[in-house]
Structures are given as structure tokens and as C-alpha cells.
Structure 1
Amino acid sequence: MLVGDFKEFLEQQIALKVLKPWWDVFSEYLSVLMMMFGVFGSTLQATQDKLLCLPSHASAKHPSEIICYEFTTQTFNSTNSTLQVLPVQEMKGLKNNLDIQQYSYINQICYQEALHWYARYFPYSVVINTLILMVCGNFWFKFPGTSSKIGHFISILQKCFDSPWTTRALSKVSKLKPFEVPKLKLEDKECNLVTNADVSGDEKNELLKTTPVSVPKETAAKKPPALDKKEGEQAKALFEKVKMFKTHVEEGDILYSMYVCQSVLKAFTFVLIIVYSVILVPNIIFTVPCLAEVDNMTGYNSFCCSHTKASFFFKLAVYYLCFVCIYGLICMYTLYWLFHQSLKEYSFQHVRQETGMLDIPDAKNDFAFLLHLTDQYDSLYSKRFAVFLSEVSESKLMQMNLNHEWTVDRLKQKLQRNRNNLMELHISKLSGLPETVFKLTEIESLKLELIDSIKIPSAISYLTNLEELSLYKCPANIDEIGLGFLANRLKVLAVKFDTDREIPLWIYKLRNLEELYLFGSKCHNDISSGACLDELPNLENLKVLVLKSNITRVPPNIIYLAKSLQNLCIHNDGTKLTALNSLKNLNNLTKVELNHCNLERIPCAIFSLNSLQEVDLKENNIRSVEEILSFQNCSKLNCLKLWYNNIVFIPEHIKKLKSLESLYLNNNKIMVLPSELFLCTKLTNLDLSHNEIRVIPREIGVLQNLQYFAVSNNSIEGLPDNLFFCTNLKILKATNNRLTILSPKIANLKMLTRLELAGNKFEALPLEIGQCSCLRRCDFIIEDTLFTMLPMHIQEQMSKEQS
């Protein structure tokens, strides 16, 4: 158990060495030497005789009156060089045959009363002083407020130093190269790298110069070994630990303050030891006069004692003071180092210059102080630690981990056809864009969602079939070569953002772009008045523009797209759209959608659009459509959607819209249908569901081209027989009404493929319904009880799968 504890203590001391500069290490060695002096002196003091006393011939009343001679019987006369013999005085005392015991007793009394305390306890004072110096030098390693931070720092520092990613980053980060693009033929360079004729010849040459050239395998530099998945995850965790530790430690300066306090305490202790030692060392003498009241036992009260270790202890004290002086000089140097420069700031300028990682932030407070201490041990630690402070380094690691996780085979499993029948790859909620994506050359549509701050590399030029790109809450940058490729190939771009600042401005350099979708349902700024749409006229080939945001006016510079723009859709999330005058200049518009724009009337600006074919005014606040007559100027208008409004009345002059083929008036408050409505004889789709209609006029039979008719969720009590003269009708929806009888003339609807009658008051269905040969059970929406009342052969006929 003790061996294990000692081993753990040694390991801890080895780990702490990175925070011990040379002066602290030197001080520890000096402390060890001083401790050895103290232990050696204490051993001698405890194991050998301390004082030997002999009686003096003359009695004294004070120790200063006692005369002790080193030579009592003979002396050397230096004048005549002869040895003179002095008269010997006979010593008389009490005879009690206890000479040994009584003088041992006298030795003990004189040791305690006559010998100076410093001479008596000098070795022990050395031990105590040295222990105090040791505690002062290592207190900050044990103090609760600092030990946890120090331990955490050393643990992270060691892991950063040993991490395989550190070696890889230091060896490669200064030599990073863009992802190589295929070498292009001279005649294809303009089509693959330069987007259009507006790019100058100098710009083309510059682009061509920046195109990487393939390097032969035999001459290519060897790449550092790739990290496996486990090492990559460990390095990723280290980045998080370093960030958290930096944020936590930079908040205060307790480590610096504690180190300064212990250094000042060491200096104060040194001064105190020197002062009292210099004063008290002369008290370590060999001959000690002693006055002991033992004359009733021995006949003497004055004694001369010899301190047998005085000479040795005096020399030991001199050496000890020399070491203490050296220790004091080190303390002074430590204080000079602490105060002659600011240790609460640390610059990684030298690391940035050596490694090329220019984004490494400087440190402050305790974090800076720890790095200064580490530099005193070895500056390489700070350099390797700085790798995990660099966002560039972190992004490269994340990219490598992504490439390990998202292999080509895994990405292929996510490929699927989208609604435009294009091969689409949808990637979401990743830390970056895997480079393996660019190996899937069959990608036609690339959708990136919830990926923070990605950079589209030049390797996107490998995706030669790419036509669509979607960036949903995914701020993206792109390099020059990749932008040139997209400008030439990309046809459709969708960008979803939270604020207009997240719209990448490089999208306005995609001069061949045909469709642009900007979705910003949570945008707090008016994107139409911001700088984000100022360059919209650069998209000279744009045909479709969809804005889903909360703008208050149509972008005025949209008029510069009058020659190309054919489809304009604004979904405004309930914000009132007021300024619409710019629309009347878009003569080539064929479709206008103004959804949820809080409009109260049909905008007059769209009545002058001669090429207009479809108008969609869904989810507004339109109550009156009297101005619908003006649509007769739009001779090509064939689809009008006024659904999800508050319309209560349809004017009679709707009959003027002779070219109308689709009319959607569902989800309004219409109660009466004018017979003039059915003079729009080209109608093929008519949706009147979710209103308050009670009667369908018999004139509906005029609509011989009608294929889709919906009157669900009204109050209709009967379908007119004339409806069944519309023999081209394929879909009839009349659910949730008050129908009680279905006319047998339904047999005329030979092309009927879907019939919805649920939610009415039918008691039975006509048998003629069996003559609707194209109707199948799955498309016949009726209660099961009514269906089972039909003859079996009709049920079987409808239950058959259509060939």
C-alpha cells in the first residue's frame, strides 16, 4: 500500500515538472541539500554526548565570572621558547563514590541551562526552516483553488503533446493545398473554369494559373499516416476540452496571484532565516561556562563545559547559510521574472509564424501564465498545445473525421430521386461537408442542411452532372475555381436562412442560374431593402424567383430581370405587401404567386402583364374581386387561384375570362354562384369546396371540358342533372354536404376515375354507378354500408385492379 502511494506521488511530481522552471527545480535541490544537513546534524545531536563538564577551582556567582582555561597545568612561553610549568592547585570536593552519576547529572543540567538554545537546537532549526521553504515552494500545487486547474492543464497538455493529430497538423498545416480538380483540356478551360464572356482575359489566365496540376505518384510527397476513427474522436474531444479550459481559466488570475504570493513568502522566509542565523551562529562555541547549584553534592558550583560538536556545527552553519544565500538569490530572480514583464498576456505570434496557423488566439490571465511557465520548461509544449486552439486545425480534423465516417458507400445509400426526377444527395446536421461527396459523379442535386460554415472546395467540379444546389440554414463559402464551375453548370439554387446576412453573396455571380429560391421565414430584416438583393440584376438568365420571407415591397431592381424572369413567387408569412408597382414592368412573367401577403384586393399592377398565364393569390385577405374584369387584358391567363381568402361574391363579369381553364375559389365565404361563371367554357378545373354554397346552377352543364369539379364541405342538397352532361369529368368531390339522392345519370360519366361522396345523407346509391367503368373502390370515397348495398357484381367490378 505504501509503495503504491509513493509511486503515485512520484508520478505526480514527474507530471508537474512542466510547470517548474529552472529556478524552482534548483530551489528544490538546494532544499534537499539543506534538509540533508539538518538530518545529519540532528542525528549527531541525538546519538552522541552533548556536553562534558569539569569543576572550576573557584566558586562564582555568575557564569561570566567563571574562568575556563584550555591549558591549566602548563603553558608555552613564547619569549624564551621554554615550557613553563604552573603551580597545580589541588581540587577538593565531597567524596561520595558517585563520580560518574553526579557528573552525568551536571552535564545534563549545564546542557539545558548553560548552552545557548541555538547551539542546542541548530540542526532541528535547519530541518524546520527547510520544511517551511519546501512548503512555500509547492503550496500552489496543493491549494484547492489552483490544484484542480493545474492538474487539468497538465492532463490536457500531455494529451495534446502525445496526440497523433498534433504531429500531423504541425507537419501539414503550413502546406495545405486545395483539393485537386481534374486536369482540363485547353479547349474546355473556359467552359469549366470561366463562367461567361464578361470575365476578362487576365482573369481567365489567373484562374487557369490557379488550377492545380496532377502530380505523378512517384514525385508526390508522402502523406503523414492517416488517423483511425478512435484517434480522430480523441482529438475532437481534445479540441472541446481545450476550449472549455481556456474559457474557464482566462476568467481570473488566481494561479498567478498564488505563485506571486508563494514567491514573496519564500523571499521573506529567506530574509528572516539569514537575519536570525547571522545573529545567533556566534553562539555556537566550544567552551561553555556553567553555574550549577550542586555544591552540596560535589562541593563545586562552577564548571567549565566543552560542547563536543560546536566546531562541526559552526562549520555546518556556515555552509548552510551559504546555501540559504544562494536560495535567496534565486528568490530575488523569481520576483524579477514575475514583475519585469506582463505574465498575464501570452502571444502565439512565434507559433503562428512557424506553423502557418494564423488564427491561433492569444491568451490572457491564468491561461497565459501557465503557458509562460511551460515555455521555461520547453517551448515545444506551447507549440503543440496551440494546435488545439486553431479553428483551422479543428476544421481539418473534423473534415478528416467526416471522411472516415461518411464513406462513398454510405453516401451512395442516401442517393434517391427527387420530385424533379434528379438523383439527389441530402446531407444534414453534420459538422462539415465530407470530401467523399465529390466522388459521386452521378449527383444531379445536392442538398445541404444545418451544416455550419462550410466551404465548397474546387473539388465540386468533379460533379459534372450537378444541376441543383440547396443550402438550408447552411452558411457556405466557395473558392474561385468552384465558383467558376457552378456559374457554368448550376441551374437551380435554393437558400434557406434565418437572417439576410446569411445569404451568400456569391450566388449573384452564378450568371447562368435559372431558378433562385430564397427562404427566410424567420428573417427579421426586410431583404428587399437590404444589400443582399442589390446584385440581383446580375442574374441575367434567371427565369424563376421565389422569395419566402416577410418583405414589405417587391424589390425595385427586379425590373432589370424583365427580359428573362417568367415566374415570380412571394410567400410573405402574413406581412403586408404594399409596393407592387415594379411588377407591371415584368412583361415576360407567365406566373405570379403572392401568397400570405395580407392583400385586400387583387393588385392592379398584374393586370398589365400580357404574358401572364397563372395568378395565385392564396391566403390573403381579399374580400371583393370586382376588379376581376381587368384580367381580360391578360389574354393568355388560364389559371386563377383565389383560394383561402374571404371572398363572398363572384361578379357576373367573370364571364369575360374566356381563356380561363382552372379556377380555384375554395376556402372562401361564397354563398351564391352566378350562372355567368359557367360561361367560361374552357374551364377544366373548378374548385368550390369549403364555402357556403347551397345550390349549383344548371348552367354547369355548359362546361363540356370540365375534368375536375370539387364542392366538398358546402351545404348543397342536390347535384343538378346537367352536371352529368359534363362527360369529360374525371374527378368529382362532393363530401360533407346535404345530398340525399344521386342521379342515375351518373352513368354518363364514363371517364370518372375518382368519386368522393362521404359525409352526406344517402340512403342508397343508384345501380347506374356500375356503368362508370373507370371507377375503382380505392378511389370511391363512400361509407362502407352504402357500398355493400350495391350488387355484388358492381362491388367486384370496382374492386378489380385497373389494368
Structure 2
Amino acid sequence: MLARRGMITVSEANSLSDSQTRFKALKPWWDVLMNYLLVIMLMVSFFSVTLLILMDKVVCMPMATKPTKNMSSSPPHAGVTYLPAPEDLGHLTNLDYQQYTYVSHVCYHKTVPWQSKYFPYLALLNTLLLLVSSNFWFKYPKTSSKVDHFLSILAKCFESPWTTRALEETTDQTSPEPVRLKPSGSRSVEYSPSTPCLNDSTLSSIQLPISTILDRKEEEQAKALFEKIRHFRSQAEDSDVVYRVYMGQTVFKVVTVVIVLGYTSSLVGSFSFHHICSPGIQNFMGYSVFYCTHNLAYILEKLLLTYIILVSLYTLMGMYALFWLLSRPLKVYSFEKNHEGSGLGDIPEVKKDFAFLLHMVDRYDSLYSRRFSVFLSAVSEARLKELALNAEWSGDKLRELVSRDAKGRWELRLSMLPAIPRAVYDLNEIEVLKLELISSAKLMGAVSKLGSLSELHLSHCPAKVDPDAFSFLRQRLKVLYVRFTDLEELPPWIYCLKSLQQLYLSGNLNSSNNKSIRLQSFHGLTSLRVLSLTSNLSSLPSAVLEVAGQLSKLRLQNSGSELGSLGHLRKMGHLQELELHHCQIHRIPGVVTRLTTLQSLDLTSNCILEVEELETLQRIRGLSTLRLCHNAITRLPPSIELLRNLEELFMSYNRLEALPAALFSLVKLRHLDVSYNCIRAVPPGVGHLSRLQSLVVTGNQISSLPRELFRCTRLKLLHAGSNKLSSLPVEVGQLPLLSSLVLTCNSLTALPEELATCSLLRRGGLNVEEELLNTLPSDVRSKLS
């Protein structure tokens, strides 16, 4: 029955009250006062509207005499003179009730001013507008989710047992100075969600004693709060939308109330109780002038004065809020300044929306932000993780992280943990172990349980090993990836892995003075066959030369600095693959011709302008792959025909304007990539490449494809997008193995129906615009879809 009558139930009222109280921590005192003022303003305006609806009317009586000029605006008792008609004195009006009602309605709309009839409605609308705008930032989609998330985390931090115990311990500490984090070395690390909170030296030097050990559930809740705050911080510090919306809402409210105050003040004294009305109906009633009274004039004027007082107070509160917003740096929050002597260590400053929300919380109660700071402290987090690591990372949980990599091997990746969980050593199926940003990682002797482990990744993780673990890794580890910042991060035990076959090093291999290489000797890597160095080398390290005779693949990726002294490459008599990237090479090194066993040469991303030295490469009989991408080569010399065993040629992102006829004498060529050059045409000689399987000419200026191209019946991949093609030859149907065809961003108007004969294209290998595909018959489209 209550629902049918449109009434609000008690449960609905409670839920509405709860929804308002949950935002109280983000409501400073001025917002609270302004909300109370809005409630009173709403009551005043609603009362005024109710009076208008129920009681608003005028009462009119006929005047038997003609008033003077001033009587139209003044009541008869205000000293206005008029001439009475003696014959009408005491004469009955002879008017019916309906006539009085009619005159009253007419005179109400004709003589009563607009403010008497509509001001209460305007006041109600203005109040509702202010009411909506006052909590707009709690409802706006881009801010409400962030505010709700922040408040939920804040409440959990306030009630967490870990917060209470951490604050108790820091309060009971006898040292007056707070515990401070001291980063190792002289480098300072700025906060980011991916940056480890503590390194090994920091963990060993900082202790935050916890007298009472938390139970498992409390530990899990505290750890979850740390992670939630980390993610929330990374999102909240990306933008200042909450600050801008609150600022905009405050400015809007101030401007609105100033306008309201302006027009309402002008209405003071304009309400009138007496009105003279001339409805122009003398022929029907015998009277031309009526004297009317508006029964709500007095009360409306008092309500107007009350409303003006309330709006004035609201304006003062809004001005103060705006002054507070503009006078303080609210986009930066420092815990050191706001909570001196917290004992939780140096908590980095927070910025943007995160900082603004903390400032708003401080206006309510600084205790909230103080308890919140426990979960922003690296010291507090490190201690909790130290206590909960092994309990949290159980074998079942770690097993959920094990997955298959691209080669089908079982892989486990651990990132940003204080240490390696002991349960890792129970996952004996692991073949690849990746450790990232684990500052105090140490491999224990139990690693020998991982009998299938053959590949290890260390990313900014200077892992230590005990003797038993070293003995196991020395005998079993085959592949090692190490990513580091300085040479000091390189674990010394990696130089003694005699079974290691592949070593990938990425980091700064030069010392601080940039003059000498401090890599230790590679003599102990007796099985090393593949070596990759990603660094800023100016010459080959001497350690590389120690294993030159046993390497089959060398990959050097520089940071753009020039790599000199390539003459040492001649010592690599068994080298089969050579990659030199970003090494500022201006021509094909002559020493390459000494590498008679070379099969693949990759000089991508260098400064090569001409390749006249190609003829010298004919000495390398087994050369089958040549990569010269991302250079500035303008032409291929005719001598390229001397590379008769070449099977793969990659020349993308150069400045080629034409393809020489000699190129098409390489009958063994299977893959040709000349994308993103300035080529205007594909010569008909391409038809001689009978073994061609892939042709990539994307991003050139080709206007047509030669029909001879489609004699290459082994062609599987043809990419010709971003050219000037106007048509596709019907001979494309002669390619039975074609499985990938890209023709986007051309000038094609139609596609040949012969595409339907390319059966492998039916698996989604055709990439063209949708409107171009619609030019094909429906049966052909259905085959290709």
C-alpha cells in the first residue's frame, strides 16, 4: 500500500541516509554547512510553492466611482481623491458569486506582478539546481568511481588490524627520529607502480617490529590493501579530473548564487497587497474598475527576505571554499609535512587526484590520512611481505601462475616480490623461470628439485645462489637472460656456467668513465654458442673475444653509438649468424667476407647509404639471409646477382626507387621484403623467381602488379597495401597456395572473381576494405568469409 501511494519506506530512507553518510569523509565543514543551508532553502521554497498552489488568489470588489489618475496604482485609503456619485451611495452591486470569481481570475493574471506568481517556483528550481551541483562530483561517472574506490579503501585501511599494530609499534619506538628509507648507491628512484619498494640493502637495514603476528586472514587482507592502493595510486596520479570537477562545481555554485542574489534583491519591496484592476467587462457587469487584494503578498515578501539571507550565507560559504581551493597547492600532498614523526619512513609525495582526495580527508579528520599512510609506507609493506611471503605464495597459488610459453614449455614468472617463495622449488615441471624486480632473490639448494629447469631470466634481479644451487645451475642451465642497469647487478656466478649455451645480456656494459669494459672473463662458459649484447658499446669487449672461436651466433644491439674495431670478428671462424643493430655502420664491414661459414647477416637500423660491397659477399657461399632494413639505401647494384644462394632479402624502410633486373636472377629467393620504399613498379622479371613464397611491397608507389608475378605459383603471402593499385589482375587465381593477401589503402574499385579459386584465402587471409569486398558476388564472398 505504501508503494502504491508513492510513499518512501523505512528501508529506502535508511539506504538513502547510508548513501549520504558514506561520503562524509570527503565533505569539509563548509560543504556540510552549505548542505544544511540548502535543506532550509528547499523548505522555504517548497513552503512558498505550497502556499501558491493552495492559497494563491486575489479578491476583487467593484468600485462604483471613477478613480483619478493616481488611483490606478494606489488604494483608496492612501489619500487618493475621487468624486463619489450620490445616487450610487448604498446601492447594491447585484453581482453573482460566479461573476466575482471570474473577475478575480482575470484580475489575478492582469494585475498581479510576475514575482508574486512565479518567484517561489524560481526559488525552488534554483535550490534544486544548487542541490544537484553540490554533490555532482559524487555522481559524475569519471569521478564517482574513483571517489567510491578511494572511500572503500580508506574505510578498510582505517579498520585494518595491520594499521593499528603498525601505528602502535611506531608510537612505542624510543627513537625520536622516524625510520627513513635509504636507497642503495647514490641513485634516487622515483615512485612508479612497477618500481620495487625496497632493495636488498634496504630490507636488511630496516626493521619494523610487530609484537603480535597477524593471522592468515588478516595478512591476506593487509596484502590486498597494499595492492589496491598501488593500483589506485597509479590511476589517480594519472589525472586531476576529480580536482577539476570539484573546482568547476564550486565555481558554478558561486556564480549561480551571485546571480540568484542579484535578481532576488531587486524584488525586495515589489510585493503589493492592493491592486486596481480594469478588466474591460463593464458591458457585462456594469462596473469598469475593481479594487483587489492579493492575500499572499505579505507572507511572500517575508519568505523572500528569508531566502535572500540564506542565499547570502551560502554565497559566503562558497567564496570561502573557492578561496581555499585557489590558495593552497592541492595537487601535491606530503606526508612528511602533514604527519611529522609518523615513524613509517619516507613516504613519497602523492600528486594530482590522489593528493586532492587526501587534502579533503584532512579537512574532515587527519586521523584518516594518518592511518591511510601505513599502506603507503615502503617499510610497512616490506615487513608485511616478509612475514606473509611463504604463507601467501603457497604451492597451489604458484601453480596457477605456471603457463605454456610460445615454445610450449612450462614457464613461471615472478615479479616484484621481496624474495623467492619456497614453494617454487616444489614445481618440478618448470622449464623456464623468470624473476623480475626481486631485490633480495636467492636461489636455494632446493632448486635441484627443478629437474626440467633449463632457462632462467633475471630482470633487474641480482640473484644470489648458495653452493648447492650453483652446482645444479652449472650443470643444467642452458639459456640465461640478464637485464640490468649497472654492471654491479650482474651476478658473478654467471661466468662459471660451463653448460650454458645461450647468454643474453641487456644493460650498461661500460663503466662510469665510459672508457673500459668491466665484463669478467668468459673462459668458464665452455659450451657457449649464442651471445647477445644489448648495450652502448664502442668496441667488442675482450670477454667476447675469449669465446670467439666457439660462437655460432653473435647479436650486438647498440644504443645508437658507433661500434668500432670490428676487425676482431675475423676470429669467429664458426659464426653462422651475425646481427649488428643501431651500431652507426655506414657500409657493409669488409671483415664480414672473412666469415666463410656465415648464413645470415643482419645490419638493420644503421646508416648504410650504398651497398656496392655486395659483390664481396659472394665469397660467403652459404649466405642465405640478408637484412638491411631501416637504412638509407637508394639503389641495389647489379652485383647482387652474385649472391646466388640468397633465399631471404629484407630491404624495408629504405629509399629504393627501383628494383634492378639482376635481383630476379636469384632463383633461390623465397622471401622478398621491399616495403616502405619509393618503388614505382615491380619489374616483369619477378616471374623468374619460381621459388618465391612471400612478397611484401607495402608502402610504396606501385600503380599495378605485373601479370608475370602470378607465375610464381609457390607464392603464399602477398602484401601490397598502401600503394596506388587501381586493379588486381585476374591471374591472381593462378596462385593455389596464396593464404595471405593484403590490399588495403589502394585505389581499387573492384576485385576479380578468380579470388574464389584461392582456397587458402577462405580462412580469413584476405585483407581489403569492406566496401571493396562487397563488389564481389555473394557466392564468392561467402567462400572468402
Q: What TM-score do you get using the length of structure 2 for normalisation?
A: 0.52
The answer for the alignment partner of 1:765 in structure 2 is: 751
Look up the SS of the partner of 1:746 in the other structure: helix
The answer for the alignment partner of 1:513 in structure 2 is: 500
The answer for the alignment partner of 1:734 in structure 2 is: 720
In structure 2, do the counterparts of structure 1 residues 703 and 687 end up closer, same or farther at CA, with 3 Å as the change threshold?
same
Q: CA deviation at 1:678?
A: 0.9
The answer for the alignment partner of 2:623 in structure 1 is: 637
Structure-to-structure mapping, 1:196-595, within 5 angstroms = 228-229=215-216, 398-520=385-507, 525=512, 529-531=516-518, 533-595=519-581
Structure 2 CA distance, aligned partners of 1:542 and 1:768?
A: 53
Structure 1 CA distance, aligned partners of 2:768 and 2:171?
A: 76
In structure 2, do the counterparts of structure 1 residues 152 and 682 end up closer, same or farther at CA, with 3 Å as the change threshold?
closer
From 139, 147, 155, the equivalent of 2:172 is 155
Structure 1 CA distance, aligned partners of 2:512 and 2:651?
A: 33
In structure 2, do the counterparts of structure 1 residues 702 and 227 end up closer, same or farther at CA, with 3 Å as the change threshold?
same
Partner amino acid for 2:641? K
Q: Deviations over 1:479-536 (max 9, x none)?
A: 11110100000000000001111111110111110010101169775999432x2312
Structure 2 CA distance, aligned partners of 1:152 and 1:537?
A: 52
Partner amino acid for 1:155? D
Partner amino acid for 2:426? K
2:775 equivalent to 1:789: yes
Give aligned-pair identity as a percent.
Answer: 39
Partner amino acid for 1:762? L
For the 8 Å contact 2:487–2:508, the answer to whether it is kept is no
Q: Deviations over 1:171-201 (max 9, x none)?
A: xxxxxxxxxxxxxxxxxxxxxxxxxxxxxxx
In structure 2, do the counterparts of structure 1 residues 456 and 559 end up closer, same or farther at CA, with 3 Å as the change threshold?
same
The answer for the alignment partner of 1:605 in structure 2 is: 591
For the 8 Å contact 1:558–1:582, the answer to whether it is kept is no
In structure 2, do the counterparts of structure 1 residues 522 and 554 end up closer, same or farther at CA, with 3 Å as the change threshold?
closer
Structure 2 CA distance, aligned partners of 1:452 and 1:228?
A: 26
Q: What root-mean-square deviation, in Å, do the aligned CA atoms of Structure 1 and Structure 2 show?
A: 3.0
The answer for the alignment partner of 1:744 in structure 2 is: 730
Q: CA deviation at 1:234?
A: 12
Structure 2 CA distance, aligned partners of 1:731 and 1:665?
A: 17
Q: Deviations over 1:185-232 (max 9, x none)?
A: xxxxxxxxxxxxxxxxxxxxxxxxxxxxxxxxxxxxxxxx99744787
Structure-to-structure mapping, 1:575-724, within 5 angstroms = 575-724=561-710
Partner amino acid for 1:578? G
Look up the SS of the partner of 1:619 in the other structure: coil
In structure 2, do the counterparts of structure 1 residues 439 and 583 end up closer, same or farther at CA, with 3 Å as the change threshold?
same
Q: CA deviation at 1:431?
A: 1.1
Look up the SS of the partner of 2:704 in the other structure: coil
Look up the SS of the partner of 2:503 in the other structure: strand
Q: Deviations over 1:548-576 (max 9, x none)?
A: 11111122342332342111111112121
In structure 2, do the counterparts of structure 1 residues 770 and 397 end up closer, same or farther at CA, with 3 Å as the change threshold?
closer
For the 8 Å contact 2:521–2:546, the answer to whether it is kept is no
Structure 2 CA distance, aligned partners of 1:396 and 1:438?
A: 23
Structure 1 CA distance, aligned partners of 2:386 and 2:468?
A: 20
Look up the SS of the partner of 2:403 in the other structure: strand
Partner amino acid for 1:747? G
Structure 2 CA distance, aligned partners of 1:519 and 1:153?
A: 41
For the 8 Å contact 1:556–1:582, the answer to whether it is kept is no
Structure-to-structure mapping, 1:9-28, within 5 angstroms = none
Structure 2 CA distance, aligned partners of 1:653 and 1:707?
A: 23
Q: Deviations over 1:64-91 (max 9, x none)?
A: xxxxxxxxxxxxxxxxxxxxxxxxxxxx
Bigger CA radius of gyration: 1
In structure 2, do the counterparts of structure 1 residues 539 and 396 end up closer, same or farther at CA, with 3 Å as the change threshold?
farther
Partner amino acid for 1:613? Q
For the 8 Å contact 2:486–2:508, the answer to whether it is kept is no
Structure 1 CA distance, aligned partners of 2:512 and 2:764?
A: 48
For the 8 Å contact 1:499–1:525, the answer to whether it is kept is no
Q: CA deviation at 1:396?
A: 9.8
Q: Deviations over 1:311-358 (max 9, x none)?
A: xxxxxxxxxxxxxxxxxxxxxxxxxxxxxxxxxxxxxxxxxxxxxxxx
Q: Deviations over 1:403-440 (max 9, x none)?
A: 11111111011101112321000000111111111111
Look up the SS of the partner of 2:574 in the other structure: coil
Instruction: Count the aligned residue pairs.
Output: 431
The answer for the alignment partner of 2:273 in structure 1 is: none
Shift >4 Å, 4+ stretches: 151-154, 230-236, 394-400, 521-528
Look up the SS of the partner of 2:761 in the other structure: coil
Look up the SS of the partner of 2:523 in the other structure: helix
Q: CA deviation at 1:604?
A: 1.7
The answer for the alignment partner of 1:371 in structure 2 is: none
2:751 equivalent to 1:780: no
For the 8 Å contact 2:509–2:517, the answer to whether it is kept is no
Structure 1 CA distance, aligned partners of 2:507 and 2:683?
A: 44
Structure 1 CA distance, aligned partners of 2:759 and 2:441?
A: 57
The answer for the alignment partner of 1:756 in structure 2 is: 742
For the 8 Å contact 1:527–1:551, the answer to whether it is kept is no
Structure 2 CA distance, aligned partners of 1:457 and 1:157?
A: 37
Look up the SS of the partner of 2:708 in the other structure: helix
Structure 1 CA distance, aligned partners of 2:611 and 2:512?
A: 32
Q: CA deviation at 1:397?
A: 8.0
Partner amino acid for 2:678? E
Q: CA deviation at 1:156?
A: 3.2
Structure 2 CA distance, aligned partners of 1:781 and 1:466?
A: 42
Q: Deviations over 1:741-762 (max 9, x none)?
A: 2111111111100101111111
In structure 2, do the counterparts of structure 1 residues 417 and 518 end up closer, same or farther at CA, with 3 Å as the change threshold?
same
Structure 1 CA distance, aligned partners of 2:417 and 2:382?
A: 12
Q: Deviations over 1:576-614 (max 9, x none)?
A: 111211111101111111111111111222221111111
Ranges in structure 1 where 5+ consecutive residues have no aligned partner: 1-150, 159-224, 237-366, 368-390
For the 8 Å contact 1:691–1:713, the answer to whether it is kept is yes
For the 8 Å contact 2:517–2:541, the answer to whether it is kept is no
Structure-to-structure mapping, 1:49-88, within 5 angstroms = none
In structure 2, do the counterparts of structure 1 residues 727 and 630 end up closer, same or farther at CA, with 3 Å as the change threshold?
same
Structure-to-structure mapping, 1:184-199, within 5 angstroms = none
Ranges in structure 2 where 5+ consecutive residues have no aligned partner: 1-167, 176-211, 224-342, 344-377
Q: Deviations over 1:432-468 (max 9, x none)?
A: 1111111111111100001113221111111111001
Structure 2 CA distance, aligned partners of 1:602 and 1:157?
A: 69
The answer for the alignment partner of 1:278 in structure 2 is: none
For the 8 Å contact 1:491–1:514, the answer to whether it is kept is yes
For the 8 Å contact 1:526–1:551, the answer to whether it is kept is no
